[in-house]
Structure 1
Amino acid sequence: MIHKQVVNHRQIAWLVGSLLMTGMMISFLRSVVQVARMDAWFSQILPIFYALFIAYVLSGLVEAYPGKNIFEILFIIGGKWIGGAINLLILFYIWIILAIDIKGAADFLHISLLPTTPLEVILLVFVLLMMYYGKTSLEVAARVNEFYFPLYFIMCISLYFLLVNEYNVERLEPILTSSLDRIVVSNFLPVGVYGDIFLIGAFLHAIVEPRLFFAAMKHGVIIVGFGTTIMLLVLLGVMGFMIASRLNFPIYILVQQIHVTDFLDRVEMILFSVWFPAFTIKVIVAYLAFLVGVGTFGGQRHYNTFNAPCGWFIVVSSIFGFPNVAHIDQFISYSLPLIVLVFQLPLAIFLLIHVRRKNKGREQSLIPEGTKLYRFYRSMVWITTVCLSGCVIVILIGDFFKDKSAVGGIATAIVFIALLLIALLTSYGEMQALNHGKQKLGRAKQAGSFRQ
């Protein structure tokens, strides 16, 4: 059901993490390595800024149209025909995401883990799981994700320590030897994947506080950027760009290199058991967004009616839409970023202009100015902004000095990772400050004052 959904800030941050991070681990990172080579781990900073822009637009929609999802908002703004046409395009975009994820995961399972199982059987199990969760709401998926995504993120960070005996920093050197053009292009490729944050727009009716909503999405996006950067660092340091750029499933092959002890073998199966549920949550969220969109066209607040036909349509169409792994990889790497920049970006700019006019003079703050909590919140916001902007500046400075000093490349790498880590920590501080302010404000309304 659409109206009975409540999701808190922590769940939003981790849902964003699952949406953006888990899908990249199948085969997408190969294309980034092919373009930027040993400097592929600099490829996440511009997609972070793009995802933050989409998050800002969605938070503005929450403030302008409380209790409405993006499909209902577009019907209000554009009317029956124009709004309906845009919503159809959004549904087509969501179908593309679902078809890519379902078929990509089925191909991965069929090739690497279940070679004797027919592909159709794997897809059938997947669609039955989707249809089961299709009878629930986003709140259920968010609660399940609270358990799996933190484990998955810890797993990604721990890969460096598990593979430290295989790691060789010389495979990353010389740092920033790829041309700046290659690094810029490698930053555009992940935009297609980071555009999946747009799916959250289907659940705006479940959001109460727009500023806390934006802070939670910001934290989730930076989690993805930091985690993917570490994964690329480990991948390139263990395999080098020549091998990583030729593998269909580079992360899976990377995990197979883990040898903790002589008696503990097949560690990748343990790690896979954490990744797959987190990835499944991403597919379920996309499927729920699709059902919400279809239900909006039917004028219904209950979308269970469309669950079974939509599930069978998606699984059958994904088979014909993307016949093999190569097509999926090429589409994610080159066609999906183009779709996002041509369709999603102009739509987001239009919505931003509209909500800025509608929200003019409606500034609201969860934290009263002048309090210690407000000063802490503002410092977290500024530090996060400075650190993310500093990542771009560091790349430009490192590219300028790359031919003059080998130490400059190493210094660039250390500063880049440090700034990204600080941004991750301060974005969490920003989110927690707003949540604390929300709780204090709720108590203050009962007591008649706000004290900090």
Structure 2
Amino acid sequence: MIHKQVVNHRQIAWMVGSVLLTGMLISFFRSVTEIAKMDAWFSQVLPVGYAMLVAYVLAEMTRAYPGKNMFEIIFIVFGKWAGGVVNFVLLLYFWIILTLEIKGATKFFHATLLPQTPVEITLLVLVLMIMYYGKTSLEVAARVNEMYFPVFFLLAMAMYVMLSNEYSIERLEPILNTSLTRIFISNFMTVGIYGDILLFGAFLHASTQSRLFFAALKHGILIVGFVATILLSILLGVMGYTIASRLNFPLFILIQQIHFTDFLDRVEIVLFSIWFPAFAIKVIVTYLAFLVGLGSFGGQANYTVFNFPAGWFIIAASLFAFRCIPDLDEFLSYSLPPIVLILQIPLLLVLYIKSRMSRKESEQACIQEGTKLYRFYRYCVWLGRIAMTASVLTIIIGSLLLNKSKMGGIITAICYVVFFFLALLASYAEMQALNHGKQKLSRKKKPGSFRQ
């Protein structure tokens, strides 16, 4: 079961979008707007960079240990006993993510859509659903996600048009008037969300090409960063930071402000029907990563044997965790980021060094050097790097030099969004170039010699 999973680059990018974005939309925006105020929409650039670094290390691990997942690599690097301790800590971390998302979702359902339904019933139904997917593999979740995430992405980007009659840019002004310290803290808070990218380390065996795997992860991360930036700017432009920072579910209240006609004023139900399947994919991917970690201890290639006991353990743990939404928000905003950094940075540093040392042969390139496609690929890589660096510099320069000028703040904000969008386009072009080169090389091989 564990070695038969094959997921393509597009599925990986869209799953990253579901894993990192959908859980962020429940209540996390409240804490960010409370700290950074009207400049909360600048809170995505540094965590995007951090998630890219994690993705790069995961790609290096794929290159050094092909066919192995992160838990197996940890046993190889650290040994049986020390590796067992490290994997146990990782399982605790995945358990925290699962508990956060499941309890947050059930609290959200109870407060907004199902007030008469006991929280325990909603939690039980949600866990039974992920237990059903726990009998399958990542491929199934990836195919389901392909049906919902593109629609969810398009609806999120269309929010500005749907709320154009309620939007006022004056609620964002003065732009970059918040101190750099508060903007940095808001970026630090968001690291806890983007740290979930480590979940894909449990599925490294599903990738057969490290460069394409990294490009797909990077594209998915930039999708999340750009969409979250746009949604935060819409939230602040419609409600202002004062109201947004006092609501438990600010984005849900924002969607309730959409009114097309007198006959179509419950648009939140339609959008919820698209958001929930994409959110369910996040929980399913986390649960599958948890099962893969459990299977690594018993040497079980078929991790589904742990599905039933693990599911009931998650139910029991979630019932007693985070009694109310403010407790969950405080943990997600202030406790999870240091946990992520303390756990991930030393671990990834060791794994990166060992992966670089263990590379005996260079991986076969997706694109032949010297070709037009290779030059285009390198151009996209450098364009993405320059655009992300320019986004960070735009915030710093705008905050230090132009925060007293209204027009300067507007120009700075436009440059920031343009650079972020350029980085997103460059990542997509990079991913497509690598995939096109891989397909061209595969066609040159003899029939039956290509392993997908």
Work out whether the TM-score is over 0.5. yes
Answer yes or no: is the 8 Å Cα contact 1:380–1:427 preserved in 2.
yes
Q: Give the match's secondary structure for 2:264.
A: coil
Once the two structures are superposed, the pairs formed by residues 307-318 of structure 1 within 5 Å of their partners are: 307-318=307-318
- Residue of structure 2 equivalent to 1:329: 329
- Residue of structure 2 equivalent to 1:342: 342
1:445 CA drift (Å): 3.1
- Residue of structure 2 equivalent to 1:89: 89
Name the aligned partner's letter for residue 131 of structure 2.
M
Q: Deviations over 1:78-103 (max 9, x none)?
A: 11110000000000000000000000
Q: 2:190 matched to 1:219?
A: no
Q: Give the match's secondary structure for 1:114.
A: coil
Answer yes or no: is the 8 Å Cα contact 1:102–1:315 preserved in 2.
no
Q: 2:146 matched to 1:146?
A: yes
User: TM-score, normalized by length of structure 1?
Assistant: 0.97
Q: Aligned residue pairs: how many?
A: 447
- Residue of structure 1 equivalent to 2:76: 76
Answer yes or no: is the 8 Å Cα contact 2:103–2:321 preserved in 1.
no
Answer yes or no: is the 8 Å Cα contact 2:207–2:213 preserved in 1.
yes
Name the aligned partner's letter for residue 174 of structure 1.
P
C-alpha distance in 1, partners of 2:108/2:91? 25
1:362 CA drift (Å): 2.2
C-alpha distance in 2, partners of 1:425/1:243? 33
Name the aligned partner's letter for residue 107 of structure 2.
D
Once the two structures are superposed, the pairs formed by residues 180-329 of structure 1 within 5 Å of their partners are: 180-329=180-329
Q: 2:353 matched to 1:353?
A: yes
Q: Give the match's secondary structure for 1:117.
A: coil
Q: Give the match's secondary structure for 1:262.
A: coil
- Residue of structure 1 equivalent to 2:450: none
- Residue of structure 2 equivalent to 1:47: 47
- Residue of structure 2 equivalent to 1:450: none
1:368 CA drift (Å): 1.1
* 235-244 vs 339-348, which moves further: 339-348
1:318 CA drift (Å): 1.2
C-alpha distance in 1, partners of 2:178/2:317? 40
C-alpha distance in 2, partners of 1:364/1:389? 30
Q: Deviations over 1:228-251 (max 9, x none)?
A: 000000000000000000000000
Q: 2:15 matched to 1:15?
A: yes
Q: Deviations over 1:365-405 (max 9, x none)?
A: 21111101001101111111100010001111101223442
C-alpha distance in 1, partners of 2:432/2:367? 12
Moved over 4 A (4+): none
Q: 2:444 matched to 1:444?
A: yes
Q: Give the match's secondary structure for 1:321.
A: coil
C-alpha distance in 2, partners of 1:86/1:322? 26
- Give ranges in structure 1 of 5+ residues lacking alignment: 448-452
Distance 1:127 1:345, change over 3 A: same
C-alpha distance in 2, partners of 1:357/1:188? 31
C-alpha distance in 1, partners of 2:358/2:142? 30
C-alpha distance in 2, partners of 1:55/1:188? 18
C-alpha distance in 2, partners of 1:444/1:333? 51
Distance 1:443 1:104, change over 3 A: same
C-alpha distance in 2, partners of 1:378/1:391? 20
C-alpha distance in 2, partners of 1:446/1:381? 31
- Residue of structure 2 equivalent to 1:129: 129
Q: 2:370 matched to 1:370?
A: yes
Q: 2:172 matched to 1:172?
A: yes
C-alpha distance in 2, partners of 1:359/1:254? 50
* 58-67 vs 323-332, which moves further: 323-332
Q: Give the match's secondary structure for 1:167.
A: coil
C-alpha distance in 1, partners of 2:401/2:174? 12
C-alpha distance in 2, partners of 1:319/1:73? 33
C-alpha distance in 1, partners of 2:136/2:299? 19
Q: Give the match's secondary structure for 2:79.
A: helix
1:316 CA drift (Å): 1.0
* 315-324 vs 21-30, which moves further: 315-324
Q: 2:3 matched to 1:3?
A: yes
Q: 2:34 matched to 1:29?
A: no
1:315 CA drift (Å): 1.3
- Residue of structure 2 equivalent to 1:62: 62
Q: Deviations over 1:192-241 (max 9, x none)?
A: 00000000000111110000000000000000000000000000000000
C-alpha distance in 2, partners of 1:324/1:311? 22
Name the aligned partner's letter for residue 129 of structure 1.
M
C-alpha distance in 2, partners of 1:324/1:399? 36
User: TM-score, normalized by length of structure 2?
Assistant: 0.97
C-alpha distance in 2, partners of 1:228/1:122? 27
- Give ranges in structure 2 of 5+ residues lacking alignment: 448-452
C-alpha distance in 2, partners of 1:360/1:188? 37
* 6-15 vs 352-361, which moves further: 352-361
Please report the RMSD computed on the Cα atoms of aligned residues, expressed in angstroms.
1.1
- Residue of structure 2 equivalent to 1:111: 111
C-alpha distance in 1, partners of 2:364/2:439? 15
Answer yes or no: is the 8 Å Cα contact 2:13–2:219 preserved in 1.
yes
Answer yes or no: is the 8 Å Cα contact 2:7–2:207 preserved in 1.
yes
Answer yes or no: is the 8 Å Cα contact 1:39–1:177 preserved in 2.
yes
C-alpha distance in 2, partners of 1:30/1:414? 24
Name the aligned partner's letter for residue 244 of structure 2.
A
Answer yes or no: is the 8 Å Cα contact 2:295–2:303 preserved in 1.
yes
Identity of counterpart residues, as a percentage?
62
Q: Give the match's secondary structure for 1:60.
A: helix
Name the aligned partner's letter for residue 190 of structure 2.
P
C-alpha distance in 1, partners of 2:403/2:199? 43
Answer yes or no: is the 8 Å Cα contact 1:177–1:402 preserved in 2.
no
1:360 CA drift (Å): 6.3
Name the aligned partner's letter for residue 140 of structure 1.
V
Answer yes or no: is the 8 Å Cα contact 1:55–1:218 preserved in 2.
yes
